[in-house]
Chains A and B, each alone.
Chain A
Amino acid sequence: MLEIASVNSFYGKAHVLSDLSFTVQRGQVAALLGRNGAGKSTTMKSIMQLVVPRSGQVRFMGHDLVGLAPHRVAKMGLGYVPEDRRIFTDLTVLENLEVGRQPSREGTVTWTRDMLFDLFPNLAERRNNRGKEMSGGEQQMLTIARTLMGNPSFVLLDEPSEGIAPVIVEQMARVILQLKSEGLTVLLSEQNLHFARAVADVAVIIEGGAQKFHGTLAELNAQPEIRDAYLSV
């Protein structure tokens, strides 16, 4: 469904992704693993075209995304949940959801506010609160809910478990599994191998912006030397 082929991305003159390639199949939950600074967030942004790759291809359902405006990428059914959440702090929960709202799309779930409030009960209670009045965990839920309002068929989750309480991390894991059961495809980036083990089918490990491992989690578990080399445990 998503194919990254020899992508090279830069921040100014800094070469962040070098010849990165991997694929994600429809219906999979894929975990993009790597240390701090390995290029996980840049990969996500390079898919969304928030960072435009200098070379290579990002194919989504057969179309090359490179060079498209981010709103066009979103319109094709890719939902992006940024690492630093980036909720609109002056807007209420309902207004944040409104910004994300897009028409329904063939072949994927059409989310309503009520469905999202079922998924994230905390948000229902705080629907008229402003973004800045919410805790980190609640903001994380809101940013996911906001992206789901666009009815994506593929969700990019950048470090969903970062900086939130363990009980909420568990809730995040349940949400991701539910998205999978609804037929959505998910690519999530993680430093936390335990979280990835709980939700992901396949893992892609990157280091220095290049792919070092691509396989199922069972295969990864069978090769502890890879884990030790590229992931801090």
Chain B
Amino acid sequence: MGFFIAQLLTGLANAGALFMVASGLSLIFGVTRIVNFAHGSFYMLGAYVGYSLMQVLPGAVGFWTSILLAGVIVGLIGVIVEICVLRPVYRAPELFQLVATFGVILVIQDLTLMTWGAEDVLGPRAPGLTGVVRIMGEPVPKYDLALLVITPFVALGLWYLITRTRVGVLVRAATQDREMVGALGVNQSWLFTGVFFLGCALAGLGGALQLPKGGADLLMDFNILTAVFVVVVIGGMGSLPGAYLAAVLISVLGVFGVTYMPQSTLVLMFVIMVLVLMIRPYGLFGRPEVAGEHGQVGEPERPIKPAGPRARMIVAAGLALLALMPVYGSNFTLVLATDILIFCLFAASLHFILGLGGLVSFGHAAFFGGGAYVAALLVTYADTPMELALLLAPLGAGMAAIIIGWVCLRLTGVYFAMLTLAFSQLLWSLVFQWGEVTRGDDGLVNIWPSAWASGTTVYFYLSLVICTGGILFLRHAAHAPFGYALRAARDSARQAEATGIDTKRVQWAAFALAGAMAGVAGGLFVFSKGSVFPNELEIARSFDALIVVFLGGVKTLAGGVVGGVALEGVKDILTRFEYWRLALGVLIIVVVIVAPDGLVGTARKLAERWGILRGAEDGK
């Protein structure tokens, strides 16, 4: 019994930081409609900044002052990010800001590395709160008890701010209809900046508060991000009580999971989330997203037309150049080209559901990594030949997509996105923790192609044929009636339903097709590398594909491919430098600000302005 209570108390104490970060994310999303991927980075900054302050400020007063100051400083850093990075892109297409926040993650990672070094930082003990208290004979750290008291006060303060002050009223009003708030004379820019300050300060506070428990390290940002997404989804986007309850639920279960089921702690979190969502699709306290915000009508979608003769010639020339690559390229360029081809197919498959279907998936790596693991497991345990494994990889990934799609497509918008992310994390944690089968972090190795395809050149041709075929197939599907139905479901689900299209079924089929195509890419990937590790299923992998699709251009068919080539190419150059993340992050942010239509869209606009291409008006 004593053990049980001690565990419960630790779980409740752990909930504190999680709640603060989650409520910050939730607030920012509510008002600005931005899912701030960089929120985990602000949490990490809070820990590091707090640590540095504690080195300078002595004693108990210094300790607590440091924590408060860390919150304020991180909040101010958030304000700088909001003004410099997000303000210029508020008018960009919805969700484009995601890419900008991902750039922010990379920048903060490297700046943190520069400032504090790669070594993990051991958190200072809280003066006066070291040691344990015995509760029914079980030791409970004093600091945990302090956290237990502090968190409800922060939660109450936040609740008071939101429900009882003018600022809170404006925040809640803006969450529903920010344009109307502006028309009533409230300067939205400052409201956005203020909310960003508050949200980031909460994240920083959370990071600094957990210092004595966990210290600070460079992996904190992604580690908390997943948990925060889960908390926000379980609690319901925009609900503070929901965030609190979900944080407690996840933390307490986490503590008990470590004790009773150490092999499945990660999986447990996602299983709970899926269960909650099956019963309450919008979280415990959430509400369905309001479809169609009030606002100005944007430029109408430009219809996607089949490639004209000139475009076909360019593509044919490009393919010919690629096919001749073994003649003029080195072995190294062939390997790089193979990587890029595989990545392009992966990105094109995400583009298919995202661009044409309007289904923003944050977890597309599940199918890429899934396909890779299917192939690798088949080879490792059944000595399957490469040819068969390459066929079964998309089948496995497609099956996974059918199941995951069935659950996720019950939701829309940001809930759909977060649910896909959770599923990909579920797969990742399965692979990561089920060591007996998947060898966990050690990965599966020695997975080589059949003898005939083992040469670099032959494998390059194999990838060229399969990836080009896959991309052309997706392109073909976009121009087939199926593609029309998919786009109709994206633009107006109701209208599409009224004309007899079963929108959910069409989207489900598209999701499965995209999953299978990602599986093809995953299968090719394994045999090109000879090994696979869990990080092929990670968030970062999904984000890679997202960045590529957004940077390339969501509204153009070539977007996925062009973005894929650009990102992999740039990465190949940049990773030779020590602080390549910083450079890549800055580059991403600059592209987002300068070219909000993506590379292809912006290039087309420029070409039209200079008279190289005919504009849409002339095309009529």
Contact = CB atoms under 8 A, between A and B. Distances in A.
Interface of A: 11-13, 48, 50-52, 69-71, 73-75, 80, 82, 84, 86, 88-91, 95-96, 98-102, 146-147, 150
B83 to A, nearest CB: 16
Contacts of B166: 98, 101
B173 A88 contact: yes
Interface stretch (B177-185, B192-200, B366-374): B177-185
Interface of B: 166, 169-170, 172-173, 176-177, 179-188, 294, 296-300
Contact of A13 (B169, B179, B300): B300
14 contacts: A12-B297, A12-B299, A50-B179, A69-B188, A70-B182, A71-B182, A71-B187, A86-B180, A88-B180, A96-B173, A98-B166, A98-B169, A100-B185, A101-B166
A47 to B, nearest CB: 11
Contact of A69 (B172, B173, B182): B182
Given A71-B187, A90-B172, 15 more contacts: A50-B179, A50-B296, A69-B182, A70-B179, A70-B182, A71-B183, A71-B188, A74-B182, A74-B184, A88-B177, A89-B176, A90-B176, A91-B169, A91-B172, A100-B185
B399 to A, nearest CB: 41
Nearest to B180: A86
A13 B184 CA distance: 28
Contacts of A88: 172-173, 176-177, 180
State the 3 A-B residue pairs at the shortest beta-carbon distance, nearest first: A74-B185, A99-B173, A11-B297
Nearest to A75: B185
Contact of B300 (A12, A89, A95): A12
B176 A150 contact: no
A91 B296 contact: no
Contacts of B183: 48, 50, 70-71, 73-74, 80, 82
Nearest to A143: B180
A135 B180 CA distance: 20
A82 B179 CA distance: 11
Contacts of A86: 177, 180, 294
Contacts of A147: 184
Contact of A150 (B184, B299, B300): B184
Nearest to B294: A86
Contacts of A100: 184-185
Nearest to A52: B296
Contact of A71 (B176, B185, B296): B185
A71 B185 CA distance: 4
A109 to B, nearest CB: 16
Contacts of A74: 182-185
Contacts of A102: 184-185
